[in-house]
Chains A and B, each alone.
Chain A
Amino acid sequence: EPEVTQTPSHQVTQMGQEVILRCVPISNHLYFYWYRQILGQKVEFLVSFYNNEISEKSEIFDDQFSVERPDGSNFTLKIRSTKLEDSAMYFCASTQGDQPQHFGDGTRLSIL
């Protein structure tokens, strides 16, 4: 069964540094999402992406965040200048549209 893949599985970064989290959605999917889960808290929506542009974003997704689909397969989340409170699990998800979202394994981001 096709899967959403995310790399790296764990990223450790100094505060203030830029970080890029990578995702390869399922190949025939059209809608892509990033969610995050701070330790001990619920999964929260960050941003959705369709047709090469952001379709929706939450309050969390401020100017420090950006997303890109640089080629036909990757979908990246960039945090420009990381803060301690960005430490979380970041999940990528994709769907064809009306179908349930498929999630990747997540990237654990630790900001020091």
Chain B
Amino acid sequence: AQRVTQPEKLLSVFKGAPVELKCNYSYSGSPELFWYVQYSRQRLQLLLRHISRESIKGFTADLNKGETSFHLKKPFAQEEDSAMYYCALRPGNTPLVFGKGTRLSVIA
């Protein structure tokens, strides 16, 4: 079965500290993986997709097929990064399977 696991419900870091939001997935085929972000009272927005390999707002994520992980990283957290972050898997051309989300709180 396809599954996305985000082990941390809440992650608090100080401003300027490095951030790593963990995501592990379970899927036997070649997955497509995404990170979506939801700022307070706003819609889900695409942050990253693994095939584009770009850096958005300083965030990067590398797909590690051996560890079935797609952790989201940023070297220096900013206060405006505080939000809910969802890792999502799209197995083939099908609907997204979401993780439970991690709330990132950046403390000044």
Q: Which of B34, B46, B95, B101 contacts A42 (CB 8 A)?
A: B101
The number of chain A residues with a CB under 8 A from chain B is: 21
CB of A44 within 8 A of CB of B98, answer yes
Instruction: Count chain B CB atoms within 10 A of each CB in A4, A93, A100 and give the residue with the most.
Output: A100
CB-CB under 8 A from B97, the residues of chain A are: 45
CB-CB under 8 A from B95, the residues of chain A are: 33, 35, 45, 48, 56
CB of B44 within 8 A of CB of A43, answer yes
Assess whether B40 is interfacial by the CB under 8 Å rule: no
Assess whether A98 is interfacial by the CB under 8 Å rule: yes
Q: Which of B49, B99, B101 contacts A100 (CB 8 A)?
A: B49
Q: How far is the CB of A20 from chain B (nearest CB, A)?
A: 20
Assess whether A13 is interfacial by the CB under 8 Å rule: no
CB of A105 within 8 A of CB of B42, answer yes
CB-CB under 8 A from B34, the residues of chain A are: 100
Residues of B within 8 A of A (CB): 34, 36, 42-46, 49, 86, 93-101
